[in-house]
Amino acid sequence: MNVSQVSYFTLSAYFDIGPFKYGIFLVIMCVYMFIIGSNVLLIVVICVNRSLHEPMFLFLCSLFVNELLGSLGLFPFLLVQILSDVHSVSVPLCFLQIFCLYMYVNVEFYNLAVMSYDRYLAVCHPLHYSTQMQMSKVSRLVLFSWFIPLLNIIVMISLNASSGLCGNVIDRVMCVNYYVTKLLCSGATASNVYGLVYTFSVLLSLAALILYTYVRILKVCFSGSKQTRQKAISTCTPHLASVLNFSFGSFFEILQSRFDLSRLPAVLRIVLSLYFVTCQPFFNPLVYGLKLGKIRMACKTLFFHRRKPCNKRTSTL
């Protein structure tokens, strides 16, 4: 089979669940609506409130935009597949989904690394924070967080799309680059080598940066004053929770892609494969919206602000 004969991929991880698919469709639709609503809400709150035009909140805005991208790459496709009796996807649409999902994963990783660096400066070097984290630098870091992943995804998809396909069955509920690479007749070596080089040279460097910054932050927490400790914990806890959640999701994805988990129940394998792109967009708005006091106050001001009535003076005759 060559590339000219492959016009679609078959997603073999789906199985017949009968009328239960309508209930699952409604649950996933509600999750998707919550993700869209919560992330858009926080983006609007940060954009319209000038008091939130600070580096940390601008990085958060970039993070929330990325959550929308990842959700857009998965949920509409997943909802269609749940109701469909034929679980197949055209080759161009499959590569489009790979682009959205892998762009989301890479940008998420870069954003979390940049936010770790920002928190490190705020906690460990508070006196120099305003000079070292100016708006021009913030803009460059945000552009860097999006441009490098975009360049990486273009190279990765170009290597795969230019090679012939010797199969069209993907044992997942969505298109995954690793499984598409396994179907290549030729060029898989170049794609694998590029993936390994990028992972070890870039992604592990970002992971080392995140680890280093939090080692330093924890050192300040244990050695500093009570006030410093409380400030560090209040500002870093949401970000640390987001890092851990994303790390768990990525670990589940790598585990399922690289090892045979056929002994696990099919439902559990599907949940593990979707965790990294569903829980993070659902989880982040809750954590940051509830934990960061400035965002809570901005939301209250935006939706519950009431003008104080003017005090009318009564005139006496």
Position 1 confidence tier, pLDDT thresholds 50, 70, 90 = very low
What pLDDT score does 187 carry?
A: 55
Does residue 306 register a pLDDT over 60? no
Does residue 147 register a pLDDT over 80? yes
Tokens 């990325």, residue located: 66
Does residue 305 register a pLDDT over 70? no
Closest CA to 292 of 249, 248, 241: 241
Does residue 110 register a pLDDT over 90? yes
What pLDDT score does 316 carry?
A: 38
Does residue 303 register a pLDDT over 80? no
Q: Which of 52-56, 73-77, 219-223, 240-244 has the lowest mean pLDDT?
A: 219-223
Class of domain 3-298: mainly alpha
Max Cα–Cα distance, the chain, nearest Å:
100
What pLDDT score does 237 carry?
A: 80
169 has which bridge partners?
Answer: 10
pLDDT in tens, 212-253: 998 888 887 777 667 767 777 777 788 888 888 888 888 887
N residues, the chain:
317
φ, ψ for residue 169, nearest 5 deg: -105, 120
Average pLDDT for 115-142: 89
What pLDDT score does 36 carry?
A: 94
Q: Which of 127-131, 133-137, 187-191, 269-273 has the lowest mean pLDDT?
A: 187-191
Position 308 confidence tier, pLDDT thresholds 50, 70, 90 = very low
Token pair belonging to 220? 């300040």
Average pLDDT for 131-147: 91
Rg (alpha carbons) of the chain, rounded to whole number:
23
Token pair belonging to 94? 């499959």
pLDDT in tens, 245-279: 888 888 887 777 777 777 778 888 888 888 888 98
What pLDDT score does 302 carry?
A: 67
First to last CA, the chain: 100
Q: Which of 193-197, 204-208, 238-242 has the lowest mean pLDDT?
A: 193-197
What pLDDT score does 188 carry?
A: 61
C-alpha distances out from residue 263 to 78, 267, 274, 275, Å? 24, 12, 18, 19
What pLDDT score does 15 carry?
A: 83
- Residue 57 DSSP label: H
Q: Is 170 helix (H, G, I), strand (E, B) or coil?
A: strand
Burial label for 224, CB within 10 Å (0-12, 13-18, 19+), is middle
Residue 87 contacts residue 10 (beta carbons within 8 Å): yes
In the chain, how many H helices and how many E strands?
A: 11, 3
Q: Is 15 helix (H, G, I), strand (E, B) or coil?
A: coil
